[in-house]
Amino acid sequence: MSNTPNIQTIFFYILSEGLFATLALTALGLLIGFAIGLLLALMRVYGPTEIGWFASGYEKIFRGIPVLVLIFIFSFGIPGLFSYLEPLERPIAGVILALGLRSGAYQSQIFRGAILSVNPGQMEAARAIGMNGFQSFRHIVFPQALRLAVPSWSNEYAVVIKDSSFAYGVGIVEMTRVAFDIAANFPVLMPLSMAIVAILYLIFTYPVTKLFGERQTKKLKDFGMGGG
């Protein structure tokens, strides 16, 4: 780029070069987090006490370590990790793993809270018509728990997409990295570039949290939708 970039070029450059990476990192991180979180929540709610401690311990550890540190640990810290990948691809896997492990700790709390919020009478009624434990959970408790979890989960989505910006420092080209690189040669434009990418992040967080956040789901509950 020989000439100074203007607002439009910055905007479209960030979108075209960085958006996909950001969304991919976020989606995969949330997915791994979902699997881990659900598993841990089930362990804490339905499992024996010792397993519950393990799950609780996992939560404490991955909530207490800064996500940036986690990213560095899994991208550069463990020799031999992801050795089957190309060196350039390893940080990507590292970031996804870090985001996933961290999100798992938070989603575990979300699902645990949601499952416990479902009226115990529901489980009783399911058993009363002859369903076994697994069926009652899968068909009766789980669907309701999912609905109850929506507000907190939309918040978690926002957190993960913001955390994906930390991948900037390990060589992954996502939105923040692009925004930085564009203005790297023109420090004067840095705040502008940052403001533009900030707007992009807002576009992906604000509508979601507004639509699926606390107040909206309360309104939906009034109409009979929603859990318990």
Partner 1 sequence: MIFQVLPQELLDLLRVLEFWDHILIGLAKTMWLYVWALLFGFFLGLLLALLRHYGGRILSRIATGYVEIVRGTPLLIQLLFIYFLPFSINSFLDAQGLPFIPIGRWSIYVTSELFGRTMTMVFLDHITLMGILTLSLNSAAYQAEYLRGAVMSISSGQLEAAQSIGMSRRSGILHIVLPQALRRVIPSWSNEAAYLPKYTVVVFYIGLTELFAQAHYIISETFLTLSVYIVVALIFLVIITLISKSLDILYKRTAIPGL
> By the criterion CB under 8 A, which residues form the site for partner 1?
60-61, 63-70, 72-73, 76-79, 158, 162-163, 165-166, 168-169, 176, 179-180, 183, 187-192, 194-195, 197-198, 201-202, 205-206, 209
Q: Which of 187, 190, 197, 163 is nearest to 66 (CA)?
A: 163
* Nearest-approach distance from CB 150 to partner 1, in angstroms: 18
* Nearest-approach distance from CB 60 to partner 1, in angstroms: 7
Calpha distance 76→219 (Å, rounded): 46
* Nearest-approach distance from CB 203 to partner 1, in angstroms: 9
Question: Which is nearer to partner 1, 144 or 176 (by Cβ)?
Answer: 176
Calpha distance 206→163 (Å, rounded): 15
Question: Which is nearer to partner 1, 76 or 142 (by Cβ)?
Answer: 76
Question: Which is nearer to partner 1, 70 or 141 (by Cβ)?
Answer: 70
CB 74 within 8 A of CB 97: yes
CA angle 75/16/182 to nearest 5° reads 75
Kindly state the greatest CA–CA separation across the chain.
74
Question: Which is nearer to partner 1, 43 or 158 (by Cβ)?
Answer: 158
